[in-house]
Chain A
């Protein structure tokens, strides 16, 4: 896949990630039960979205590297 395609995909993903963490995207996930690892559902969901940001950037880095681009 081309680096620019990956980059655009990830940029869109990051925007979605943000929208799902605030109004109105968060509404369907805004509940206490079921508890996940003991945490209220919404807290676990927001933690999960946060970790996805790192993973998404990691994907860009892999694509950059595969394309022999800036990553050294």
Chain B
């Protein structure tokens, strides 16, 4: 048996386990939209913790994280800062969102926003923004999966086949079991990626340099510019403090606004689970430390991978690790990719039906569920076609979409906390903020102090939201009261 056969076997076994977990997960959930999208609001702490962690950290963190540390050094540290701080407000906001979900039957972010600001246009706008941000995101996850499989099987399983295999399995379990499958497979995949990241992250520095300290001493002697913030920009020149700082700010504000993460608040069995997950999130996030160690281990490596994102598979293959370890590493990377990809596919289909199509065509619960299934396949197919095409511009598109996603933050916060906010204000703010973010994304050279376009968008969004709201008629107190009341003390939870 050749080496790559054995590696392929390990990967096959991993995919099979994932598939069986995904299929087994759905047996209990109800055949309703609420069951398919919000898991009957029945996720416990273990599942919720891993769903959150594994959905946030995608193939982008697992492959891109080492890639950043390798090529841009300390620039990557911004990821350390935004995760925990982005999750912290969720300790307060999450339970409030979950409470409104239970009270009014919301299962998506746009339903919550338009519950407070009734407007079909607003709902469709959010659905379109979501889809626009999700398709490049899913495409990147698929490419990540395909790239890793192709690399470790020495090209015997090409990218197109690898991506089709991994995502064929994702689609089967999401179709069968909806968000419950996302939950249970993410629990398995989350544990898997943590173990692999820690093992490789500690192993490589010791194997190559005799320890973590000795590794950094050598990097400090030869490439000191990599070890202090803000590190390097993508072009290899020094990055700016303005760029570094606003990248953190935008990510903190945007993190929970990603619809596939936001919607998970509706899946929690009780509010305490959301709070505990916010508390425990840094323990998941700690896996970024070994992820960066892997990237730094490559800095003084004699050979260079074709592109920075390949540093992890490249080193795994070049350091002559046993085939079993290579196979497990690959499964870890697939875990990271699939655990985000499944949440995105599921989110894209749910949002399109609940916040788009469903508003214009009356559909029964069963029809909505069926339509979501069709859309999961359609979105998957579209992303797959893009994934076969090598486009660096996708990464740029994804980074750009963060600038737009964080524009949802003022809208959500106004819906939950600001009595005087009006529908006109919310709409005007979201439109002007997104337009400003897109403008500065397309005209990067006009950004003052290298500030992130998302922050510039917010600087337009927030004043417009406030001024237009104050200029328009306040909402009736009866309408608002349901939204601004604090959640009641839970008796049952």
Q: Interface on A for B, CB 8 Å cutoff?
A: 14, 17-18, 21-24, 26, 30-33, 35, 37-40, 42-43, 46-47, 49-51, 53-54, 56-58, 60-61, 69-72
Number of A-B contacts (CB under 8 A): 116
7 pairs from A and B in contact (CB 8 Å cutoff)? A21-B85, A23-B245, A35-B217, A40-B228, A53-B85, A60-B91, A72-B271
Cross-chain contact A30 with B229 (CB below 8 angstroms):
yes
Bound-state CA distance A18–B255 (Å) is 15
B88 within 8 A of A: yes
Bound-state CA distance A61–B275 (Å) is 8
Q: Is the interface of B mostly helix, strand, loop or mixed?
A: helix
B280 within 8 A of A: yes
B249: nearest residue on chain A (CB-CB)?
A22
B475 within 8 A of A: no
Which B residues, 29 to 84, have Cβ-Cβ distances below 8 Å to chain A?
74, 77, 80-81, 83-84
Q: CB-CB < 8 A to B249: which residues of A?
A: 22
Segment from B145-153, B281-289, B307-315, B317-325 that makes contact with A: B281-289
CB distance from B105 to the nearest CB of A (A): 21
Cross-chain contact B224 with A32 (CB below 8 angstroms):
yes
Cross-chain contact B279 with A31 (CB below 8 angstroms):
no
Cross-chain contact A70 with B85 (CB below 8 angstroms):
no
Bound-state CA distance A18–B213 (Å) is 27
Q: CB-CB < 8 A to B272: which residues of A?
A: 70-72
Point out the residue from B88, B211, B292 that lies within 8 Å of A43, measured CB to CB. B292
Which B residues, 433 to 463, have Cβ-Cβ distances below 8 Å to chain A?
none
Bound-state CA distance A15–B489 (Å) is 28
Cross-chain contact A42 with B229 (CB below 8 angstroms):
yes
Cross-chain contact B80 with A23 (CB below 8 angstroms):
no
Bound-state CA distance A47–B282 (Å) is 9
Q: CB-CB < 8 A to A32: which residues of B?
A: 216, 220, 224, 227-228
Cross-chain contact B80 with A46 (CB below 8 angstroms):
yes
Bound-state CA distance A10–B443 (Å) is 39
B361 within 8 A of A: no
B254 within 8 A of A: no
Bound-state CA distance A60–B280 (Å) is 13
Point out the residue from B215, B227, B275 that lies within 8 Å of A71, measured CB to CB. B275
A29: nearest residue on chain B (CB-CB)?
B229
B270 within 8 A of A: yes
Point out the residue from A14, A40, A70 that lies within 8 Å of B216, measured CB to CB. A40
B 216-233 binary contact with A (CB < 8 Å = 1; else 0): 110010001001110000
Q: CB-CB < 8 A to A49: which residues of B?
A: 81
B84: nearest residue on chain A (CB-CB)?
A53
B487 within 8 A of A: yes
CB distance from A38 to the nearest CB of B (A): 3
CB distance from B361 to the nearest CB of A (A): 39
Cross-chain contact A21 with B279 (CB below 8 angstroms):
no
Cross-chain contact A54 with B281 (CB below 8 angstroms):
yes
Bound-state CA distance A56–B77 (Å) is 21
